[in-house]
């Protein structure tokens, strides 16, 4: 077999965002685009000679083709072995687990997560390091730098590998092992949770719907919930991963998971509903008639995690991204443990988890996870909820009511303005920056601004500094609004507006979030001029 040395030149737009590189699928399919990025990853991590990698993705359109390219390039670059999920399938948390369990030098995960899939939709690729977590900023900077001066990539003159058959084969001297994508992950979940208690819950007649949204978690959820825990067949809906996710938008929130929401608010609603995203790292939790915001879910899980075997000894600390509500901070304060506030994106939790300073982490965008892997983990969150429901015997609604009564409620919502012209979005952010000095003390409607700044993070473990991580405006009432531009979009800019207020009055704990936040929502527009800058009079998505 001959190694092919192929001349190339830099292609613009290969800067990784919040979670790897995401582009329109057709862009990834342009000649050399994928190859340049894969070679830049290899070069950026100091080469892959003699190294081992995990490779897999969420099964979206182009997943299998891209894996064949990656395998040929890994072989040409001298990698010793690639371990690949059968059919090219690995959920993001399952890939993270395999990197850790098999002690590989990292992995390549192919996914654009919750973004739609298909030739006219989105594709993505990211590198995770030997700890199983997304490459940190230092590494992604090196990868990006290489994309700007790359001149050569390497491949081998070899045919496609059969990804559908378990076992070991070889390509130009590199071992390729095709493994079952589900079994190691299911075994890990069995170690963490009390499967007997959860099986007992299902035996007692407890009902559930899990919406896999035709994305990667289908096979995982069927194996764990139905086969191992005894939930009735059909508990998992939309269980077959499809290259275009059935034409849907595999983002587990009340808007995109409306099929599940209709079931949970309809007649004969099951006790519990959950959904996961394209690559299986996000989760949505909903009780009968009771949606749980991701920020509240993180707080409830932190308050009750000790009911699951793996966390029976308590939590070392908790961490949340800055725009996530402070609900979990109140739990941490009550438990006397540290609460860390990080920039958006799971890569910022890695050091805290590795150093044993945080056990549970979460983001308002429906991501929750723990030190069991180095990614957020959708099914893990669902199983922790089930374990807590099994031990407490409470309904989701009761658990939420009790939690708010004890800690108060952080009303929370996120308003997204999608595909805004980049110049307009930047102008809105710059307009906010120009008001930092004048805002404090100003009244906006019934509210008074107390603070205005841009979040920067100093990593407490390695001391690295990350600036420009979101503009936050605090009010004397304890409420706040945060403005950020998305780092995962593939079209124009998405402005995210995160809204939060805190309520302790027992008679005001069960109101509609949009109503409870109406003053903050009005203040956000008054201060940022959202309507003026974007020309939109309402957000595209409210979660």
What is the DSSP secondary structure assignment for residue 325, as one 8-state letter?
-
Interface residue with ligand VG1, options 288, 496, 498, 521 (CB under 6 A): 496
Two structure tokens written together for 240: 């077959």
Q: Give the CA angle between residues 17, 27, 1 to the nearest 5°.
A: 100
Rounded CA separation 226/499 (Å): 38
Residue 253 in the binding site for ligand VG1 (CB under 6 A): no
Only segment of 148-156, 276-284, 300-308, 388-396 that touches Co ion (CB under 5 A): 276-284
Binding-site size, Co ion (CB under 5 A):
5
CB of 281 to Co ion, least distance (A): 4
CB of 281 to ligand VG1, least distance (A): 5
Interface residue with ligand VG1, options 63, 96, 97, 113 (CB under 6 A): 113
Give the β-pairing of 107-110 and 52-57: parallel
Residue 58 in the binding site for Co ion (CB under 5 A): no
SS3 210: strand
Nearer to Co ion, 211 or 281 (CB): 281
- Under 8 Å between Cβ of 127 and 138: no
Interface residue with ligand VG1, options 488, 490, 534, 543 (CB under 6 A): 488
Nearer to ligand VG1, 35 or 279 (CB): 279
Taking the mean position of all CA atoms in its chain, how far away is CA 353?
A: 16
In DSSP notation, 484-540 reads: EE-SS-SSSEEEEEEEEEEE--GGGSSS-HHHHTHHHHHHHHHHH-HHHHH--SS-S
Nearer to ligand VG1, 44 or 369 (CB): 369
Residue 83 in the binding site for ligand VG1 (CB under 6 A): no
CB of 277 to Co ion, least distance (A): 4
Interface residue with Co ion, options 105, 223, 279, 377 (CB under 5 A): 279
Binding-site size, ligand VG1 (CB under 6 A):
18
Only segment of 93-101, 105-113, 134-142, 262-270 that touches Co ion (CB under 5 A): 105-113
Nearer to ligand VG1, 133 or 367 (CB): 367
CB of 386 to Co ion, least distance (A): 21
The residue at minimum Cβ distance from ligand VG1 is: 113
CB of 342 to Co ion, least distance (A): 17
Residues with active-site annotation: 113
Only segment of 59-67, 77-85, 344-352, 421-429 that touches ligand VG1 (CB under 6 A): 344-352
Q: CB atoms < 10 A from the CB of 438, how many?
A: 10
Two structure tokens written together for 64: 């299998």
Backbone angles phi, psi at 243, to 5 degrees: -60, -25
Q: How far are the Cα atoms of 160, 174, 328, 335 from residue 169, in angstroms, in the given order?
A: 12, 9, 47, 51
- Under 8 Å between Cβ of 201 and 389: yes
CB of 122 to ligand VG1, least distance (A): 10
Q: CB atoms < 10 A from the CB of 406, how many?
A: 11
Interface residue with Co ion, options 121, 211, 223, 281 (CB under 5 A): 281
Nearer to ligand VG1, 14 or 52 (CB): 14
Rounded CA separation 93/173 (Å): 29
Residue 96 in the binding site for Co ion (CB under 5 A): no
Give the β-pairing of 317-321 and 457-458: unpaired
Interface residue with ligand VG1, options 35, 64, 223, 277 (CB under 6 A): 277
């Amino acid at each position: 077999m001959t190694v092919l040395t192929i001349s190339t030149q830099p292609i613009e737009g290969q800067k990784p965002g919040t979670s790897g590189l995401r582009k329109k699928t057709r862009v990834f399919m342009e000649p050399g685009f994928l190859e340049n990025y894969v070679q830049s990853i290899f070069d950026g991590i100091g080469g892959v000679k003699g190294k081992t990698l995990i490779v897999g993705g969420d099964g979206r359109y182009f997943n299998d083709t891209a894996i064949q390219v990656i395998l040929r390039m890994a072989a040409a670059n001298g990698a010793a072995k690639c371990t690949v999920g059968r059919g090219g399938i690995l959920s993001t948390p399952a890939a993270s687990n395999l990197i850790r369990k098999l002690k590989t030098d990292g992995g390549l995960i192919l996914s654009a997560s919750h973004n739609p899939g298909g030739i006219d939709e989105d594709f993505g690729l990211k590198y995770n390091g030997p700890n199983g977590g997304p490459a940190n900023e230092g590494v992604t900077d090196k990868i990006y730098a290489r994309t700007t001066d790359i001149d050569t990539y390497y491949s081998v003159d070899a045919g496609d590998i059969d990804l559908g058959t378990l076992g070991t084969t070889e390509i130009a001297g590199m071992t390729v092992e095709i493994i079952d994508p589900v079994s190691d992950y299911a075994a890990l979940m069995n170690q963490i949770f009390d499967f007997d208690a959860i099986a007992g819950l299902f035996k007692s007649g407890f009902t559930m719907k899990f919406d896999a949204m035709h994305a990667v978690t289908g096979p995982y959820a069927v194996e764990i919930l139905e086969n191992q825990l005894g939930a009735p067949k059909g508990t998992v809906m939309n269980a077959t991963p499809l290259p275009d996710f059935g034409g849907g938008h595999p983002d587990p929130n009340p808007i995109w998971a409306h099929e599940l929401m209709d079931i949970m608010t309809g007649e004969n609603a099951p006790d519990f509903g959950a959904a996961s995203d394209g690559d299986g790292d996000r989760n949505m939790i909903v009780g009968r008639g009771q949606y749980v915001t991701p920020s509240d879910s993180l707080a409830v899980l932190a308050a009750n995690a000790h009911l699951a075997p793996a966390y029976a000894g308590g939590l070392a600390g908790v961490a949340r991204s800055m725009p996530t509500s402070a609900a979990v901070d109140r739990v941490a304060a009550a438990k006397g443990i540290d609460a860390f506030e990080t920039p958006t994106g799971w890569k910022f939790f890695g050091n805290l988890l590795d150093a044993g300073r945080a056990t549970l982490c979460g983001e308002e965008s429906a991501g929750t996870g723990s030190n069991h892997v180095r990614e957020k983990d959708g099914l893990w969150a669902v199983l922790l909820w089930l374990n807590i429901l099994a031990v407490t015997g409470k309904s989701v609604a009761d658990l939420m009511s009790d939690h708010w009564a004890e800690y108060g409620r952080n009303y929370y919502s996120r308003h997204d303005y999608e595909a805004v012209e980049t110049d307009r979005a930047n102008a809105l952010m710059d307009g906010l920056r120009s008001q930092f000095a004048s805002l404090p003390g100003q009244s906006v409607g019934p509210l008074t601004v107390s603070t205005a700044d841009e979040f920067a993070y100093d990593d407490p473990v390695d001391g690295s500094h990350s600036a420009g991580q979101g503009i936050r405006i605090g009010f004397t009432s304890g409420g706040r609004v945060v403005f950020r531009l998305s780092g995962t979009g593939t079209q124009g800019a998405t402005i995210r507006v995160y809204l939060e207020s805190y309520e302790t009055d027992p008679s005001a704990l069960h109101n509609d979030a949009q109503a409870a936040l109406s003053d903050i929502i009005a203040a956000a527009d008054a201060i940022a001029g959202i309507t003026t800058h974007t020309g939109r009079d309402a957000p595209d998505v409210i979660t």
